Amino acid sequence: MGLDVEKFFERLRSPRSLMRAVAALALVATACGGGTPAAPAAKPAEPAKPAAAADKPAAAADKPAAQPAQQGSPSKPAESAAPAASGAGGTVSCAEHASKGNGGAKIVIGADASLTGATASFGQGMKKGIEVCLKEFNEAGGYQGRLVEIPILDDEVKPEKAVNNITRFIQQDKVVGIIGPVNSGNALAFLPKAEEAEIPVIIPIATAVQLVYNVDKDLKITGAKKYVFRTSMQDDYQVEKIMAYAKAKGWDALGLMHDTSGYGTATGAVAEKIISSQGIKIPQKQTYNIGDTDMTSQLTKMKDAGVKQIINFGLGPENSNLLKSAEKIGYKPQWSGAWGWSDPVVPQLAGKDLSNGVITLASFTIDQSPAAANFHEKVMKGYNENPFPITAAQAYDATKMMLMALSKAGPDSKKVRDAIESLDGFKGVTAAPSKPYSATKHHSLEADNIFVATWKDGSLIKAQ
């Protein structure tokens, strides 16, 4: 369905729809935290050699490594038999979009991710999802026998690095599409370059509304950005979903916590407005800094105020420290918040017992469908480690969409854009529909495709 702008703003009179409008206030927040305000690069990236092999961390744009990504390297999925046909036993495979032929020059799609820095777990999960899909596609023939290459460059959670990466993709690699990034601040910095070059971008992680839609000074959505799409959970839907859960559970008071990054501050302000609009009291508000390990002072104030439920917006490491700090003072509130809580480092750092019962949001859990379980099995088999499942799944779907569009349109960026917008019959591992986009709708996941999830013994599952 298309996004009816007039009806959207007419519905702003209701508290439920107010959530979406207020969420748009976070125009410069990073979707996953850690990002800094967008800053222009000092100069375009220097001409560089092809991207690093995928069995090594992708280099930053200012220090590109020597060789293109190769298939079958140690950090990539292990060699295996040809993937099963899509839909067989719940299997989804990027191989279904491949085609054999006489071969020819490689086709390049660029990927920008935060492989190091505060959101590295998001970026590393994204990297795995891309690699699994690409391997399936190339092993099945690629595009008419031509292999596709996806160099994955590290932006280090720095907007200027992201701009340099995209400049390289456009000027040197002559990419037909771009996948990324992790952080909304980085996306805000580089998207104008991609749009100017008429290169389609599919965003698998960053969640800010204005990355995909134009918003005027009155916060009114004026239309979809022509060359930008997403498979990630959009901010307004995340806020709406978590507050609906709170209301359903009868939470009449919420303690509010967030980090002091651009993401935490902006999202905290959004949450405060939404909570108040729902008639829910906020008896205590507290903040903490990125890198803080002891939050007992803030949590003691929450405890003394009688707060039983806390909604928090922060990153995985700090979220785990909140749990450990609460344990130190014998405080056991119900924790909830956006998908920073879904980072696997939360149970890893805090322990499975402390993370049990935390309420967060997801578009993917390994138990949601046979296709999801099969995808998780493929990633585990290939990497021998449990990745950040949501990020890997959303990146897999973004890559699959890009390759599906390439297969339909050929290696022409403008035609690939048109093919992405008109995709039909898509089969992914997230809850993305078979027809994910339209001329007015460039996000694949609706509010109904996002669900409340909880940690249980180190696994993220659907909440009851």
In this chain, the answer to whether the domains covering 88-232+369-432 and 235-362+453-462 adopt an identical fold is: yes
Which residue, among 361, 365, 390, has the nearest Cα to 243 in the 3D structure?
361
- For tokens 């997230």, the residue is 430
Q: Are strands 213-215 and 221-224 parallel, antiparallel or unpaired?
A: antiparallel
Inter-residue contact 123 to 115 (CB < 8 Å): yes
**Sheet of strand 228-230: strand arrangement:** 152-154, 110-113, 178-179, 201-203, 228-230
From CA 376, how far away is CA 235, in angstroms rounded? 25
* C-beta neighbour count of 255 within 10 angstroms: 26
Topology of the domain comprising 235-362+453-462: Rossmann fold (3.40.50)
- For tokens 């986009």, the residue is 437
In CATH, 88-232+369-432 is 3.40.50.2300: yes
Inter-residue contact 2 to 439 (CB < 8 Å): yes
Exposure string of 149-170, with b = 16+ CB inside 10 Å and e = fewer, is: bbbbbbbbbbbbbbbbbbbbbb
- Per-residue pLDDT tens digits of the chain, which is 464 residues long: 444 433 433 443 343 444 444 444 444 344 444 444 333 333 333 333 333 333 333 333 333 333 333 333 333 444 333 333 333 346 899 999 999 988 899 999 999 999 998 889 999 999 999 999 999 999 999 999 999 999 999 999 999 999 999 999 999 999 999 999 998 889 999 999 999 999 999 999 998 888 999 987 765 679 999 999 999 998 778 878 888 899 899 998 999 999 987 677 877 877 887 888 888 999 999 999 988 999 999 999 999 999 999 999 888 899 999 999 999 999 999 999 988 898 888 999 999 999 999 999 888 878 788 998 999 999 999 998 877 888 999 999 999 999 999 999 999 999 999 999 999 999 999 989 999 999 999 999 988 888 899 999 998 888 88
Asked whether the bond before 387 is cis by omega within 30 degrees of 0, the reply is no
Inter-residue contact 278 to 252 (CB < 8 Å): no
Domain boundaries, the chain: 88-232+369-432, 235-362+453-462
Angstrom CA distances, 21 to 211, 231, 447, stand at: 15, 21, 14
